[in-house]
Amino acid sequence: MKPLLAILAALALHAAAAAQVCGNAASGSCLQVHAPRGCSDANCCNTVCNLQPSCCTVTWDSGCVDLANSQCNWLCGATAALPCTQTHPNPSCSDANCCNTVCAIDPGCCTFSWDGTCVFMAELYCNLGPPVECGLPGQGSCTVVHPTPGCSNATCCNTVCGLDPSCCTGAWDALCVQLANAYCAGCSLPCPTGAALESEACGQRGNLACAAGQAPEALTPGTFTCGTIDGANSGTSWGGDRDSFAVTLTDGNGDGLVRVTLSLVSNGPAFAALVPAACPINLGAAALSASTNNCTQADSAACLPPGTYWVVVAPGTFPNATASSPIDCNLPLRYRVRASATDTGCAPPCSTASLGCFDPHDSPGCNDVACCQATCATDPFCCSDQWDLDCARSAAVACGAPVPANDSCATAIPIGVNQTAAFSTIRATVGTPALPASCESGTGTSIGPDLWFSYNGERSGAVTVSTCGSPTDLRVAVYSGDCGLLTLVGCNSGSIICSPSSGARFQFQAVCSTNYLIRVGGESPSHAGSGSLTLSAPGPVCPAFCPADLNRDGAVDGFDLGLLLGNWGSFGTGDLDLSGQVDGLDLGLLLGSWGACP
């Protein structure tokens, strides 16, 4: 009995010692050797001292530090916390300075999990060390967006990272892909579905403004037109084909200006210029120009008076039309050109006339002046060129956009027939599972930041899931089963039924009493923003449908009331009228359905 008492006494002494030294700020960091016993993080200290009691009774030596590094994965700077450039379920990350910087902006990164938003801020605000080596196995294609640094073609990777070092320290994002397309291997340029074709065939001359017997073709605003160019230099300047198109810009809001974006893609050096519709053609008076090469899209935007303009396409780099060698129709210069117009974006960048701060858009600035100014102070590009995805995500973090409650399958929120749920994926993360090859419909199978909704089998037969009208390029996937064992029912993106076609629409056959999970995300990791989801179904209401039976036990009772009250004030289980908040109206609906389900 005495040995047992001695053991218990020792354990009690250890617990008392730990209680005195763990969590004491004066004790020192758990990740640094120091003479006093214990360390400043109580949880880490107790964890270490349970494994090595001397850390709380003698001194905090290198062995204690090693244990803290390997065991305390919630502690900023601990090796076990995993890299700041990777998402992981534990809070914090292994670079202490970066971790503290990010958590000062978004404390959730150090209290909940290190999600995609935390990684984004780490890439934005932290110096994450030396570039990764190029050409390592599994890095991903240089022409495909992926979340890790570098790409698998070492030569191309080194070229791109020489132009933009962040491509080898953070994610290989859309800009890295654009640089790879521009500076690496050659490319082909097929004409995409839905694009218009220039009327003249390769080798013919018929659509150059101001040339005898020729006239510009009409260009539909917002639609790409595909064409070809052939010919050779005449002396030091171009003597071959040039194409021109007429586009009419209308002022819909009466402010005297239209924001025009000129876009050009070509498989060789070429430029497009938007010039006044007057002869002779004066490239020096071009209001916009875009030069490109190697299938990289070049965009240029400006606010212009309404009216008719000509878009001229020629080989070379603006304003010099030339080619390094003759171009023939066996291997012509292929291009596609577009002029898009909008009534928004001509006001000062940070003004209420601009578009939303949490939605990417082609025009600079956004409509919350304070949020816009704070974002542009960090990234001036957002107020000088365009409010792209990085600007929208920066604004969302800096200006307090909430992390969506339904960012994971486990927290899917309910949606019913003939109801619409508005959402934003701007602070959502990319979930699992990956989409199978069967989901390929011309836009790949990758999915961007995604949200989850649930449909409880209210009606049998055809159910239509639609995000038509959403400004973000979205795809939808529908599953049956539960989050632990999902079975794909079907998926779709970019439906031609939607206008614009950025919306997704999918129809499936529902079975009564079967729960379905609906996943909505961007068409790629670079697509995020606002949208809306609507369910419609013409079929009969299922006999046992009982919306207020939240736990599906066949009756509306105290268990369901507890679930509703547990979510009071939030958007989730219990939000029977889908108002965005569990409140008194939902309580009334539940109490009105009290008792056994029909």
Determine the pLDDT at residue 12.
Answer: 45
Determine the pLDDT at residue 580.
Answer: 65
Residues with Cβ within 8 Å of 203's Cβ and at least 6 positions away in sequence, in order, are 230, 329
- Give Cα 356 distance to the centre of its chain: 16
Half-sphere exposure of residue 405, counting CA atoms within 13 Å on the CB side?
13
pLDDT digits (tens, 9 = 90+) for 430-456: 888 888 888 876 677 888 889 999 988
- Give Cα 61 distance to the centre of its chain: 45
pLDDT digits (tens, 9 = 90+) for 310-327: 999 999 999 999 998 899
Cα-flanking dihedrals φ and ψ of residue 26, to 5°? -75, -15
For residue 375, give the H/E element and its range.
helix 369-378
pLDDT digits (tens, 9 = 90+) for 563-598: 888 878 876 677 777 666 788 888 998 898 898 876
pLDDT digits (tens, 9 = 90+) for 73-118: 999 999 888 888 777 788 999 888 889 888 887 777 888 888 777 7
Determine the pLDDT at residue 1.
Answer: 41
CATH topology of domain 218-324+332-342: Jelly Rolls (2.60.120)
User: Lowest-pLDDT range, 210-214, 476-480, 490-494?
Assistant: 490-494
Output 501 or 249, whichever has higher pLDDT: 249
3-state secondary structure of 12: helix
* Residue ranges of domains in the chain: 2-71, 79-125, 218-324+332-342, 409-539, 546-598
- Give Cα 185 distance to the centre of its chain: 27
Determine the pLDDT at residue 17.
Answer: 46
pLDDT digits (tens, 9 = 90+) for 369-417: 999 999 998 888 888 888 888 888 889 888 888 888 898 898 898 888 8
Neighbouring C-beta atoms of residue 362, cutoff 10 Å: 18
Q: Is the pLDDT of residue 9 over 60?
A: no
Q: With beta carbons less than 8 A apart as the criterion, state whether 31 and 94 touch.
A: no
Do domains 218-324+332-342 and 409-539 share one topology? The answer is yes
Q: With beta carbons less than 8 A apart as the criterion, state whether 560 and 549 touch.
A: yes
pLDDT digits (tens, 9 = 90+) for 492-520: 886 656 655 567 788 888 887 788 999 99
Q: Is the pLDDT of residue 230 over 70?
A: yes
Instruction: Give me the mean pLDDT over the 479-502 stretch.
Output: 78
pLDDT digits (tens, 9 = 90+) for 120-145: 777 767 766 667 788 888 888 888 87
CATH topology of domain 409-539: Jelly Rolls (2.60.120)
Determine the pLDDT at residue 510.
Answer: 86
User: CA 117 → CA 184, 400, 427, distances in Å?
Assistant: 31, 12, 6
- The Cα–Cα gap between 57 and 12 comes to 12
Determine the pLDDT at residue 186.
Answer: 66
3-state secondary structure of 148: coil
3-state secondary structure of 496: coil
Q: Which two tokens stand for residue 260?
A: 């025009």
Q: Where are the beta strands (DSSP E) in 176-242?
A: 196-197, 217-218, 225-229, 233-234, 237-238
Please, which pLDDT band fits residue 14 given cuts at 50, 70 and 90?
very low
Determine the pLDDT at residue 479.
Answer: 94
pLDDT digits (tens, 9 = 90+) for 263-293: 999 988 999 999 999 999 999 899 999 998 8
Neighbouring C-beta atoms of residue 170, cutoff 10 Å: 24
3-state secondary structure of 557: coil
Determine the pLDDT at residue 243.
Answer: 96
- Going by CATH, does the domain composed of 546-598 fall within 1.10.1330.10? yes
Determine the pLDDT at residue 6.
Answer: 46
Q: Is the pLDDT of residue 294 over 50?
A: yes
Determine the pLDDT at residue 208.
Answer: 93
Please, which pLDDT band fits residue 544 given cuts at 50, 70 and 90?
low
Specify the DSSP class assigned to residue 271: E
